[in-house]
Amino acid sequence: MKLWEKETKVAELVERYTVGRDLEFDIHLAPYDVLGSLAHTEMLAQIGLLEESEKEQIHKELKIIYTDIQSGEFSIKEGVEDIHSQVELLLTQRLGDVGKKIHSGRSRNDQVLVDLKLFMRNEIKEITKLTENLFDRLVDLSQTHKTVLMPGYTHMQVAMPSSFGLWFGAYAESLVDDLHFLYAAYRIINKNPLGSGAGFGSSFPLDRKMTAQLLGFEDLNYNVVYAMMGRGKAERSLAVGMAAIGATLGKFAMDICLYMGQDFGFLSFPDELTTGSSIMPHKKNPDVFELMRGKCNRIQALPNDIALMTANLPVGYHREMQLIKEVLFPAIQDLKDSLDMADYMLEKIKINDDLIDQEKYKYLFSVEETNKLVLQGVPFRDAYKQVGLAIEHGGFDPVKEVNHSHEGSIGNLNLEEIKGMMEEALDQFEFAKWNAAIYSLTKE
């Protein structure tokens, strides 16, 4: 079934090529297509394009379809072009001519746009929750291991003392800033495109603010041409937010892979969380974090992938926009899986508490010894030279302890302040507002 089909049949080869993998990803949009139709038909009844009794019939069937989707009993049948066609076909089969009225005042262009925005908005909520879970885990680990020293590096050379508390806390604070990127995407996405039609509006007296309110959108994409221009832009903005989180997570995964190695030995995981070698009996490989690193690197390329798909397109809808789903939807799942897996793995992490006692790390404390001399009144350059000569002559024997007290240092991690920043970042999203709207729209 094709909503646009008349008498001429499209060649089978052309149909296969143009549909591509669209149905594979359209099923993810199913609940949101129903939500958009519920809001749209509510509005159509309000402006007199549907009788109240017709609206009630349509809503009853749409809510049945919604329940079927939630329970996994819904599918897009063979020969049906897309999710929009499947929902309309079911309504027409069950309600006859009444079902055919559902599409008045909209195009598949604004229909898929609203589906995508509702889908992405919900995915942002899930990503945000998983990010919060990982943040909480990192803060707990930072607090637990705040006094355990580890080497800090510059140029991959042993540099100055750090601590596991400092290391875990750094990634926790990074996630706070990442959520600001995600929130920027959320602000772009949480606007209603419904009613923009094919990108040029409608001669029907549509109430677009009403559908925005029913769907819990913060506002409208007012200009109907710009609403259509938002296809690709909304997805790219989400990709930027995802890439920020992916960059933090990928970097952390790289640290884990490095620090698990025998040459470092900073940390380890239980055997059941690592993998082995087919030839080397001793191997305990960090496959989870290697795959996480790879997935997150791929996520960081996502904004560019989407930008290149849409970079040379003039204003209006173009079919290649459907290809965005093929890169965006799997990337969303990869990010959610990686956040969830990182939290799971960190629950079992084992830290080497005696790491810093090794002889090779004594030079970490050269700056500490220099600073001690400065505090005794020795000019910094003279103190630096004095310690440097002791190292060169083999007479450097430091006290392996640190006394850092300023904000954000080893002895003052400011975890409460970082938690406060995360609370502020999370509060921006106000997910409860649209959750309430969706509940009202779908309740019996």
Of the chain, the percentage scoring pLDDT greater than 70 comes to 96
Specify whether 278 is catalytic.
no
CATH number listed for the domain at residues 12-103: 1.10.275.10
Q: Per-residue pLDDT tens for 257-309?
A: 999 999 999 999 999 988 876 788 777 889 999 999 999 999 999 999 999 99
Asked whether the predicted pLDDT for residue 64 surpasses 80, the reply is yes
The ranges assigned to domains in the chain are 12-103, 117-201+221-356+414-442, 358-412
> Do 245 and 257 form a contact (C-beta atoms < 8 A)?
no
Asked whether the predicted pLDDT for residue 17 surpasses 90, the reply is no
The CA dihedral of 339, 344, 346, 350, to the nearest 10 degrees, is: -160
pLDDT at 80: 86
What DSSP assignment string belongs to 232-250?
Answer: HHHHHHHHHHHHHHHHHHH
**pTM score, two decimals?**
0.93
Task: Output the six-digit token pair for 430.
Answer: 């106000």
pLDDT level of residue 4 (50, 70, 90 thresholds): very low
Q: How far apart are CA 436 and CA 375, in angstroms?
A: 60
* 405 DSSP assignment: -
Output the CA–CA distances (angstroms, integers) from residue 122 to 105, 116, 340, 431, 438, in the order listed.
Answer: 25, 10, 17, 9, 11
Active-site position among 53, 75, 277, 440? 277
CATH architecture of 117-201+221-356+414-442: Up-down Bundle (1.20)
Asked whether the predicted pLDDT for residue 113 surpasses 60, the reply is yes
Q: How far apart are CA 218 and CA 402, in angstroms?
A: 50
Closest CA to 244 of 176, 329, 334: 176
Asked whether the predicted pLDDT for residue 341 surpasses 70, the reply is yes
pLDDT level of residue 24 (50, 70, 90 thresholds): confident
Specify whether 84 is catalytic.
no
Active-site position among 155, 282, 393, 406? 155
pLDDT at 244: 98
Q: Per-residue pLDDT tens for 29-38?
A: 999 999 999 9
pLDDT at 6: 53
